[in-house]
């Protein structure tokens, strides 16, 4: 089956200064077809979290790009975010009543195929495979690729594959990912985030062998 090229899903660092980051992000968002931005926020009081998130929302949503919060379900409505991404099946299940049916509910940190299927059956708008945990550890690449292939062949709920480096972008597309997530490595790229995202978009556009 011919699949359309995956779209990009950007993951921010854990931010405490969203004003300066918003300027960099604005330049990145013009470079490629980006479906969503997952905003990670450093811990702070609720008012600060809301204000920081609103700063990023203003840079993202006017471009018709979805803004999702990493957790922080309690402020999704106040920020006007499009939804939230939850890590672990327990957190995902607990957040569903406050997100559905009006907002996006994404699921990651799924430890097993059973957890992934449970998330899909419970109403996840997407599942994410391969992202690092809170300590920065990721599953082995072969396991990520296998999980994406398994899901893409079996389930209609969209799948996001997390690319930990530039070389994984095209491999995730070939495995059947509907979206490819780009994380910390694009923000630390020597040529800047815009160049890294442009490179990732080019990799997705390459014809399959």
> pLDDT by residue (tens digit) across 127-158?
999 999 888 899 999 999 999 999 999 999 99
% of the chain with per-residue pLDDT over 90: 90
Cβ atoms of 200 and 11 closer than 8 Å: no
Q: Work out whether strand 104-108 and strand 159-163 pair parallel, antiparallel, or are unpaired.
A: unpaired
Average pLDDT of span 178-183:
96
CA angle 69, 111, 189 (to 5 degrees): 50
143 falls within a domain: yes
107 falls within a domain: yes
Q: What CATH number is associated with residue 134?
A: 3.20.20.70
| Domain range enclosing 53 | 7-205
59 falls within a domain: yes
**Cis amide linkage into residue 172, ω under 30° from 0:** no
pLDDT (0 to 100) of residue 17: 92
180 falls within a domain: yes
The larger pLDDT score, comparing residue 205 to residue 54, is at 54
> pLDDT by residue (tens digit) across 63-104?
999 999 999 999 999 999 999 999 999 999 999 999 999 999
Domain count, the chain: 1
pLDDT (0 to 100) of residue 206: 75
1 falls within a domain: no
CA–CA distance, 190 with 155 (Å, rounded to integer):
38
- For residue 207, pLDDT over 80 is answered with no
Average pLDDT of span 26-55:
96
2 falls within a domain: no
CA–CA distance, 29 with 22 (Å, rounded to integer):
10
Question: Nearest Cα to 40, choosing from 49, 51, 30?
Answer: 49
- For residue 1, pLDDT over 80 is answered with no
With tokens 């949503």, the residue in question is: 61
């Amino acid at each position: 089956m011919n699949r359309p090229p995956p779209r990009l899903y950007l993951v921010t660092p854990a931010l405490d200064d969203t004003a300066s980051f918003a300027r960099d992000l604005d330049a990145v968002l013009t470079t490629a077809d980006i479906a969503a931005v997952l905003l990670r926020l450093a811990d702070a009081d609720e008012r600060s979290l809301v204000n920081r998130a609103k700063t990023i929302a203003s840079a993202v949503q006017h471009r018709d790009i979805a803004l999702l919060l990493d957790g922080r379900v309690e402020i999704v409505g106040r920020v006007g975010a499009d939804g939230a991404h939850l890590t672990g099946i327990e957190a995902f299940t607990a957040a569903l009543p406050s997100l559905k049916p009006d907002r996006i509910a994404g699921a990651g940190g799924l430890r097993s195929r059973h957890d992934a299927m449970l998330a899909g059956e419970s109403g996840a708008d997407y599942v994410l495979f391969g992202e690092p945990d809170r300590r920065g550890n990721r599953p082995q690449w072969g396991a990520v690729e296998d999980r994406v292939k398994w899901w893409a062949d079996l389930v209609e709920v969209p799948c996001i594959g997390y690319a930990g480096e530039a070389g994984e972008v095209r491999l995730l597309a070939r495995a059947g990912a509907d979206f490819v997530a780009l994380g910390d490595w694009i923000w630390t790229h020597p040529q800047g985030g815009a160049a890294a995202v442009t490179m990732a978009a080019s990799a997705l556009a390459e014809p399959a062998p």
